[in-house]
Amino acid sequence: MTVSAPGAAAPEAVADFLRQLRLGVEGGLDPFSAAEGAATALPERVQAAVEALGRRVRGEYREDEWGFDEDFAEAVYPLFEFLYDVWWRVEATGVRNVPGHGRALLASNHAGSLFPFDASMILGAIMKTHPLPRWARFLVLDWAFVLPFLSSFMRRVGGVPASQFNAMRLLEQDELVMVFPEGIKGTGKPFSERYRLRRFGRGGFIEIALRTGSPIVPVAVVGSEEIYPKLAESNALARVTGAPFVPVTPTFPWLGALGLIPLPSRWRIEFCEPIDVSGYGPDAADDRRVVFDLSEQVQETIQQKLYENLAKRGSAFL
């Protein structure tokens, strides 16, 4: 087999890949085996993705009880990396506040409309800049798991149906879990109210942290509010898709599917100092005053950091 030199130009590498793929199929190999062999002509990362795809087609992969597939997550990670580095030019600070081992609950503001881009960029910050990168799991509202493709994709990259039971099981397994206490109220904010936190509900995430002894890491995300500036809602599209709402933005639905491309805003993500709840004990989850006070502390911390990072970022797009 002829392999392109490491310095070969991209077009030559692609041409060599296609040539070797054709020869492999003509030689009797199935398409995916031929692709894996021909992929040596491509950059190392692309080659790894082709090999991972071939293993998946042959059924050589594992999923956990929620459908998380680490091989699949690694295969699509370059997409997250492109969004992180190029499209949204994310700057992350305080990432060392995320524990490198053991359980922890990341509590973040929520935006990005119906797609959990904020979760993927928080994950990207941990994977790219933490000295001990690790996969994180994120809780997603049930409606998102009704859509076949979106459901399968989110499960495989770490999405889990939002419930206290699921969150507690993950934390008891010493996982890193992301929650968005604003819920759908956060993603549905009109553009005129961006970065003003919605109320954190009854503090269910605090109860989870207390019952499992998990430190809480507040996370402030700036940039996600501008990717789909919500001007109004389409009730007709919401009924068709089963979504709690479908936003009308400057580009959607006017540009059709192109209007779903998120705008290239500049992002900042700050991981704040962890809040240690181990001293309270599990029974404190039944004390409404403790739950309320901790919830207020997390919300005030995130709100303050949002304002600070908005000032540091400056223009949303330049």
* Tens digits of residue pLDDT in 266-309: 999 999 999 999 999 999 999 999 999 999 999 999 999 999 99
Domain match, 146 and 295 both: yes
- Name, in order, each residue with C-beta under 8 angstroms of 295's C-beta and a sequence gap of 6 or more: 181, 200, 203, 205, 206
Residue keyed to tokens 């506040």: 97
* Confidence at 234, pLDDT banded by 50, 70, 90: confident
More confident residue, 208 or 255: 208
Q: In terms of domains, do 17 and 159 share one?
A: no
CATH number, domain of 221, equals 3.40.1130
Give the side-chain half-sphere CA count within 13 A for 127. 18
Average pLDDT over the chain, rounded to whole?
85
**Higher confidence at residue 1 or residue 261?**
261
Same domain, 43 and 95: no
Residues 43 and 142 in one domain: no
> What is the mean predicted confidence (pLDDT) over 190-206?
90
Query: Does residue 25 lie in a domain region?
Result: yes
What proportion of the chain, given as a percentage, has pLDDT over 70?
78
Is 93 within a domain? yes
Residue 4 pLDDT level (bands cut at 50, 70, 90): very low
Q: Would you say 109 and 302 are in contact if contact means Cβ atoms under 8 Å apart?
A: yes
Same domain, 52 and 151: no
The pLDDT value recorded for residue 254 is 87
**Residue 124 clears pLDDT 50, i.e. is over it:** yes
Helix (H, G, I), strand (E, B) or coil at 138: strand
Do residue 133 and residue 196 come from a single domain?
Answer: yes
Average pLDDT over residues 169-184: 94
pLDDT per residue as tens digits for the range 49-97: 656 666 665 666 678 888 899 988 988 899 999 999 999 999 999 999 9
More confident residue, 238 or 177: 177
Is the residue at 65 inside a domain? no
Contact 121, 106 (CB under 8 A): no
On whether residue 115 sits in a domain, the answer given is yes
Helix intervals (H) in the chain: 10-26, 31-38, 44-57, 70-82, 117-129, 148-157, 164-172, 184-187, 204-212, 235-241, 288-313
Say if residue 179 is in the same domain as residue 157: yes
CA–CA separation, 245 vs 186, rounded Å?
12
The interaxial angle of helices 10-26 and 31-38, nearest 10 deg, is 140
In a domain, 245, yes or no: yes
Is 254 found in the same domain as 309? yes
Distance CA 77, CA 72 (A): 8
pLDDT class for 2, splitting at 50, 70, 90? very low
> At residue 207, does pLDDT exceed 60?
yes
- Taking residues 176-187, what's their average pLDDT? 88
**Greater model confidence, 192 or 242:** 192
C-alpha span between 113 and 253 (Å, rounded): 14
Per-residue pLDDT at 244 exceeds 80: no
Select, from the ranges 54-58, 124-128, 194-198, 235-239, the one with the highest average predicted confidence (pLDDT).
124-128
Per-residue model confidence (pLDDT) at position 6: 43
Considering its fold, how many domains does the chain have in total?
Answer: 2
Same domain, 111 and 50: no
Does 123 map to a domain? yes
> Do 209 and 127 fall within a single domain?
yes
Across 186-201, average pLDDT: 86
Q: What is the number of residues in the chain? A: 318
2 found inside a domain: no
Per-residue confidence (pLDDT) for residue 3, from 0 to 100: 41
Q: What is the span of the domain harbouring residue 136?
A: 70-313
**DSSP label of 275:** B
Beta-carbon contacts of residue 10 (< 8 Å; ≥ 6 apart): none
Better-predicted residue by pLDDT, 53 or 132: 132
- The one-letter amino acid code at 164 reads Q
Residues 234, 96 share a domain: yes
Q: Do 134 and 180 share a domain, yes or no?
A: yes
Q: Is the peptide bond before 253 cis (omega within 30 degrees of 0)?
A: yes
pLDDT score, position 54: 63
Look at residue 252 and tell me if it is in a domain: yes
